[in-house]
């Protein structure tokens, strides 16, 4: 009886180890990623400032005045948790809009738009 219990315990431990290994591969925690943030204002809106980064690696772009902005490419290290961005802009009225996107390895992963108006703001987070 003890021998059957020991074999069952060993098989269970092997399955648990295989399952944990598979989870790590599915989450892709060993790969680095290239991250780019983009913002676009329309309808008379302009982009004022952006704060962005990956985990604790924070960056700021201030005194912006155009209708589009793209961050420099950041490298998210293996095991990075998330990419974050906050963009503020100024609109001229109810037709002004602000759209922000997070691109990972060249692919749009998440996008959000501000409510139209004079004060435009978007907070966006993408979890790897």
The token duo for 24 is 């790590």
pLDDT one-digit tens code per residue, 71-92: 999 999 999 999 999 999 999 9
Contact 107, 75 (CB under 8 A): no
Q: What is the pLDDT of residues 24-82, one digit of tens each?
A: 444 556 799 999 999 999 999 999 999 999 999 999 999 999 999 999 999 999 999 99
- pTM of model > 0.85: no
d(CA 7, CA 127): 40
């Amino acid at each position: 009886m003890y021998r059957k219990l020991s074999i069952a315990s060993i098989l269970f431990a092997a399955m648990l180890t295989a399952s944990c290994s598979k989870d790590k591969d599915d989450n892709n925690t060993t790969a680095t990623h290239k991250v780019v943030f983009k913002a676009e204002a329309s309808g008379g809106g302009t982009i004022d400032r952006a704060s962005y980064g990956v985990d604790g690696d924070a960056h700021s772009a201030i005194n912006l005045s155009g209708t589009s902005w793209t961050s420099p490419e950041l490298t998210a290290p293996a095991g990075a948790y998330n990419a974050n961005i906050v963009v503020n802009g100024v609109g001229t009225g109810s037709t002004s809009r602000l759209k922000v996107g997070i691109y990972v390895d060249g692919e749009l992963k998440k996008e959000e738009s501000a409510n139209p108006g004079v004060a435009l703001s978007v907070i966006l987070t993408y979890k790897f």
